[in-house]
């Protein structure tokens, strides 16, 4: 039997049409999710949202009120970034044709879920900056995390969001203690509806998402 005749042969009958095409896809998604510890990540994202909700019940001074949400946003971004690491490395890259789609879907879905969970946690509470600032900060931090995953590998991808958390906290601090850091690349220090800050955060998120979709997490050398 030549390759041409094999191409013309009907596929083996596994069951009804739609279910037949969905089942492998679902199985692939499930395996991808399990290999990246997505269930644990979901639980931790929910825990972060619960932590934010609990923290918002406390009275914070001006610094605390502004810096608090950023801390939880950075934690969520770090969690998303850490899921980028693959336990299989090159064999998976060589065989998985649909990996880019899975990476894109998982990263985007986790980011959207984290934004939703944090927004729900802040609903009805004095969340500094509101949803626009939350979305901007989370997207930008996640973009940094995904870029970190591409450059450093999944296990070390948390360094980007957490180092940036520190920079963001300081940018917010300088709003009281001039000279204020006004560059839009330090978007947490900008007002919630600031276009420059939002564009920078969106650019970083897009860059991170594209790079991660195309390249995936780097197989990091462990120390």
Give me the residues that bind another protein (CB under 8 A), please. 37, 40-41, 44, 60-61, 63-64, 67-68, 71, 74-75, 78-79, 81-83, 85, 154-155, 158-159, 161-163, 165-167, 169-170, 177-179, 222-223
Distances (CA, A) of 84 to 9, 48, 107: 38, 19, 8
Find all residues with CB under 8 Å of 205, minimum gap 6, and list them: 111, 139, 140, 142, 143
Q: Residue 223 Cβ, how far from another protein at the closest point, in Å?
A: 5
CB 153 within 8 A of CB 145: no
Q: Residue 96 Cβ, how far from another protein at the closest point, in Å?
A: 20
Compare residues 63 and 131 and give the one whose CB is closer to another protein: 63
Q: Residue 207 Cβ, how far from another protein at the closest point, in Å?
A: 21
Compare residues 154 and 198 and give the one whose CB is closer to another protein: 154
Nearest-CA neighbor of 204 among 160, 142, 156?
142
Q: Residue 23 Cβ, how far from another protein at the closest point, in Å?
A: 29
C-beta atoms surrounding 202 within 10 Å: 16
Compare residues 100 and 155 and give the one whose CB is closer to another protein: 155
Compare residues 159 and 182 and give the one whose CB is closer to another protein: 159
Find all residues with CB under 8 Å of 192, minimum gap 6, and list them: 129, 130, 132, 133, 136
Residue carrying the six token digits 């007002």: 191
Q: Residue 140 Cβ, how far from another protein at the closest point, in Å?
A: 16
Compare residues 102 and 171 and give the one whose CB is closer to another protein: 171
Phi, psi of 157 (to 5 degrees): -65, -20
């Amino acid at each position: 039997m030549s390759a041409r005749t094999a191409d013309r042969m009907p596929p083996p009958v596994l069951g009804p049409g739609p279910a037949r095409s969905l089942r492998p896809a679902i199985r692939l998604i499930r395996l991808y999710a399990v290999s990246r510890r997505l269930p644990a990540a979901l639980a931790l994202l929910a825990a972060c949202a619960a932590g934010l909700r609990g923290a918002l019940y406390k009275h914070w001074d001006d610094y605390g009120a502004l810096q608090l949400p950023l801390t939880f946003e950075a934690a969520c971004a770090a969690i998303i970034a850490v899921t980028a690491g693959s336990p299989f490395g090159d064999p998976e890259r060589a065989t998985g044709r649909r990996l880019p789609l899975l990476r894109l879907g998982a990263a985007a879905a986790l980011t959207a879920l984290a934004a939703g969970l944090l927004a729900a946690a802040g609903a009805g509470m004095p969340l500094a900056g509101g949803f626009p600032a939350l979305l901007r900060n989370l997207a930008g931090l996640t973009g940094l995390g995904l870029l970190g995953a591409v450059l450093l590998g999944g296990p070390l991808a948390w360094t980007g969001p957490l180092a940036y958390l520190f920079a963001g906290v300081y940018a917010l601090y300088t709003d009281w203690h001039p000279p204020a850091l006004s560059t839009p690349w330090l978007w947490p220090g900008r007002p919630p509806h600031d276009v420059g800050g939002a564009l920078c955060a969106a650019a970083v998120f897009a860059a991170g998402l594209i790079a991660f979709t195309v390249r995936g997490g780097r197989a990091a050398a462990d120390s």
